[in-house]
């Protein structure tokens, strides 16, 4: 037997050693694959201990592999589950934000109404006594309708407020003219002259404007938070198509079959797969961004002239101010009404009217709040705090759907640490990914190199959510301009009842904020004695019931 030359022998031994080392490394790689596979709860008997021929594989690269056919199928199912989990986690975080803010806003608005009603009731009982309690259902009905409107009832705010002032005028007209008997027909005639009589001064006009704009903005904003929550809920449940499922397996677990358990997908490779699998969700982005912008616009209104807290907190003062104005001008109002509707019949003689003088007058509560003294009247917070918080969250939510593929690819579960472009998995090997990244949305997926997407078949669930966002954005813009909106049928894109002011943002000055001390200030400025004497004589000449005279005097002393 001929001996090999020494150099040839050394070369042969070196090659054998390298072959044995390579086999050992491959066996070690397969053992690592087995460990990872078992750690996911799979049966270890599915995995070979060494590399085997991969002709049985359907998706991952054939050749020598660490994966059996059973492993490939389980990896395929796992990659789909990983994808659903990744999408769900990011969407659920955003959905929970909208859900929690909606609940907080809803709680705040409802509690604000409850507090305003209780405050008015307490103050009017204290101030007007039995006169108020005999007519309290009028005020209760006002708050019932306001609450019904907020929760989505078919209430026309403008008509409802007009009815409230008309009914209050009828009650007050009887009180300041007890010497006359009025039929219902006569009082209807008086109501027709409300615009000319202006019995309550400018309070009804200002309050109607403020209440309408504030309630429209509050209700629309809360509804917007709920719509966003529901849209995310409906589109966050993804069912990968066969092509997407194929791409997910190839991207996430086919590297394991090559023994590369620690190598993560290349960034651009991952982006193409995710944009293909989330093509329909990507189409949400444009309308979603428009919706977020509209929400931010209404949020600014809530912080400024449409602040429902600044309207409802002093509403008892405003209504009382209107009543005082009616008392002060009762002679002139009555004379004009008599001229228009005729002289009513005299009331038959009767016993003295019982007195109802308040035991306590107005309290310090009527001092207007400075902006920095805004009370936490409801839900342990204030509207300013709620709006400031949600505005930041809304800004962060912009471009959510277009950035979702990158967000998932950058998640540490997908790529725990940055890798060089040459040290990542490109779908076939540990090497650079050379293909271009496709755009977002269904229309851009025609040339996606990783996922076959039928761009002629949009997802109808996504299309419906896009329509919901479009409708809600339109309602937001109406609310921003002070126009009422209708939530009874969300598919109706009409502007609703149209009870708002319709002002454009540049024409809505902040001086619409109602000054609750306006009349008091005038009393002081124009001379205490002159105004007191003229007002008192006007009331006492027109009131047969002494209770009203004493009531007004008591109220004036407290206002001073």
| pLDDT given for residue 493 in this prediction | 35
* Lowest model confidence (mean pLDDT) among 26-40, 83-97, 443-457: 26-40
CA atoms lying within 13 Å on the CB side of residue 124: 27
pLDDT range class, residue 48, cuts 50, 70, 90: confident
State both tokens at 182. Answer: 């009025």
What pLDDT is attached to residue 204?
94
Question: Does residue 371 form part of some domain?
Answer: no
CA distance 253 to 246: 11
- Checking if the pLDDT of 457 tops 80, the result is yes
Cβ atoms within 10 A of the Cβ of 393, count? Answer: 14
pLDDT score of 85: 94
Please state the domain count of the chain.
1
Q: Is 131 inside any structural domain?
A: yes
Helix then strand then coil, % of the chain, to nearest 5: 65, 0, 35
Q: Burial level of 449, CB count in 10 A (0-12/13-18/19+)?
A: middle
Residue 25: predicted pLDDT: 43
pLDDT value for 323? 92
Condensed to tens digits (0 to 9), the pLDDT of residues 512-541 reads: 232 333 333 333 333 333 333 333 333 333
432 falls within a domain: yes
Q: What is the pLDDT of residue 5?
A: 60
pLDDT at 460 over 60: yes
CA 375 to CA 515: how far, in whole Å? 17
Q: Model confidence over 320-329: pLDDT tens digits?
A: 999 999 989 8
Task: Over range 477-497, report the average pLDDT.
Answer: 59
User: What is the pLDDT at residue 380?
Assistant: 66
Of the chain, the percentage scoring pLDDT greater than 90 comes to 57
Mean pLDDT within 261-279? 94
Q: What is the pLDDT of residue 110?
A: 94
Give the whole-number percent of the chain exceeding pLDDT 70: 75
CA distances from 24 to 11, 27, 307 (A): 20, 5, 73
Domain membership flag for residue 215 = yes
**Average pLDDT of the chain to the nearest whole number:** 79
The mean pLDDT value for 352-378 works out to 38
For residue 510, the model assigns a pLDDT of 32
Beta-ladder partners of 425: 265, 430
Smallest CA-to-CA distance from 256 within 43, 24, 47 is with 47
Residue 239 scores a pLDDT above 60: yes
Pick the more confident residue, 487 or 285.
285
Full domain range(s) for residue 220: 72-346+383-468
Distance CA 166, CA 242 (A): 67
Give the dihedral of Cα atoms 11, 14, 16, 22; nearest 10 deg: -140
* Higher-pLDDT residue of 139, 484: 139
**Burial environment of residue 32 by CB neighbours within 10 A (0 to 12, 13 to 18, 19 or more):** middle
Of 260, 288, 298, 311, which Cα lies nearest the Cα of 482?
A: 298
Mean pLDDT, residues 95-122: 95
Examine residue 29 and state whether it is found in any structural domain, yes or no: no
Q: Is the dihedral of CA 90, 94, 96, 97 positive or negative?
A: positive
What pLDDT, on a 0 to 100 scale, did the predictor assign at position 47? 83
| pLDDT for 256 beyond 80 | yes
Does the pLDDT of residue 176 top 70, yes or no?
A: yes
The answer as to whether 548 is a domain residue is no
In tens, the pLDDT along 22-41 reads 444 455 678 888 888 888 88
Question: Is 372 part of any domain?
Answer: no
| Statement: residue 416 has pLDDT above 70 | no
Residue 437 and residue 269: Cα distance in Å, rounded? 8
Q: Within 10 A of 440 (CB to CB), how many other CB atoms are there?
A: 25
**Domain for residue 187, yes or no?**
yes
- Whole-model pTM: value is 0.75
Please check whether residue 212 is in contact with residue 501, taking contact to mean a CB–CB distance below 8 angstroms.
Answer: yes
Whether 506 shows a pLDDT value over 60: the answer reads no
Question: Is residue 426 over pLDDT 90?
Answer: yes
């Amino acid at each position: 037997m001929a001996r090999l030359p020494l150099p040839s022998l050394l070369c042969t031994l070196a090659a054998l050693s390298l072959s044995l080392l390579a086999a050992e490394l491959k066996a070690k790689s397969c053992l690592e694959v087995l460990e990872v596979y078992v750690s996911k709860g799979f049966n270890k008997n599915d995995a070979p201990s060494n590399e085997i021929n991969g002709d049985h594989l359907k998706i991952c690269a054939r050749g020598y592999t660490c994966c059996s056919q059973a492993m490939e199928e389980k990896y395929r199912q796992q990659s789909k589950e990983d994808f659903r989990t990744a999408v769900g986690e990011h969407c659920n975080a955003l959905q929970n934000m909208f859900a929690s803010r909606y609940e907080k806003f809803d709680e705040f608005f409802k509690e604000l109404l409850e507090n305003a009603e209780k405050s008015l009731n307490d103050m009017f009982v204290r101030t007007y006594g039995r006169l108020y309690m005999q007519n309290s259902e009028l005020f209760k009905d006002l708050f019932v309708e306001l609450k019904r409107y907020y929760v989505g009832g078919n209430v026309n705010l403008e008509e409802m407020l007009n009815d409230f002032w008309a009914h209050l005028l009828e009650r007050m007209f009887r009180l300041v003219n007890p010497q006359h008997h009025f039929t219902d027909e006569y009082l209807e005639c008086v109501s027709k002259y409300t615009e000319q009589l202006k019995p309550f001064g400018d309070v009804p006009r200002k309050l109607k404007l403020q209440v309408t704009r504030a309630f429209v903005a509050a209700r629309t904003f809360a509804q917007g938070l709920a719509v966003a929550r529901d849209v995310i809920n409906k589109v966050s449940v993804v069912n990968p198509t066969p092509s997407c499922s194929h791409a997910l397996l190839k991207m996430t677990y086919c590297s394991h079959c090559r023994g590369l358990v620690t190598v993560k997908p290349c960034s651009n490779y991952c982006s193409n797969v995710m944009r293909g699998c989330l093509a329909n969700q990507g189409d949400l982005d444009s309308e979603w961004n428009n919706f977020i912008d509209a929400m931010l616009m209404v949020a600014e209104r809530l912080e400024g002239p449409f602040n429902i807290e600044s309207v409802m907190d002093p509403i008892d003062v405003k209504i009382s101010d209107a009543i005082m104005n009616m008392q002060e001008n009762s002679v002139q109002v009555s004379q004009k009404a008599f001229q228009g509707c005729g002289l009513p019949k005299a009331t038959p003689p009767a016993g003295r009217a019982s007195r109802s003088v308040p035991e306590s007058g107005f309290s310090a509560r009527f001092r207007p709040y400075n902006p920095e003294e805004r009370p936490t009247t409801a839900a342990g917070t204030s509207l300013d705090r709620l709006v400031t918080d949600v505005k930041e969250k809304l800004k962060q939510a912009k471009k959510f759907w277009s950035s979702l593929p990158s967000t998932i690819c950058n998640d540490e579960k997908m790529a725990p640490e940055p890798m060089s472009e040459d040290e990542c998995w490109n779908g076939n090997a540990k090497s650079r990914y050379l293909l271009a990244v496709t755009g977002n949305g269904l229309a851009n997926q025609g040339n996606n190199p990783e996922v076959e997407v039928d761009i002629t078949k949009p997802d109808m669930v996504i299309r419906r959510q896009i329509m919901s966002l479009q409708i809600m954005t339109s309602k937001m813009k109406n609310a921003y301009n002070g126009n009422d909106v209708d939530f009874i049928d969300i598919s109706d894109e009409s502007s609703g009842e149209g009870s708002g002011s319709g002002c454009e943002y540049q024409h809505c000055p902040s001086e619409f904020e109602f000054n609750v001390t306006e009349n008091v200030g005038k009393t002081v400025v124009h001379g205490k004695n002159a105004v007191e004497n003229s007002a008192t004589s006007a009331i006492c000449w027109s009131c047969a019931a002494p209770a009203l005279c004493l009531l007004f005097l008591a109220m004036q002393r407290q206002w001073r």
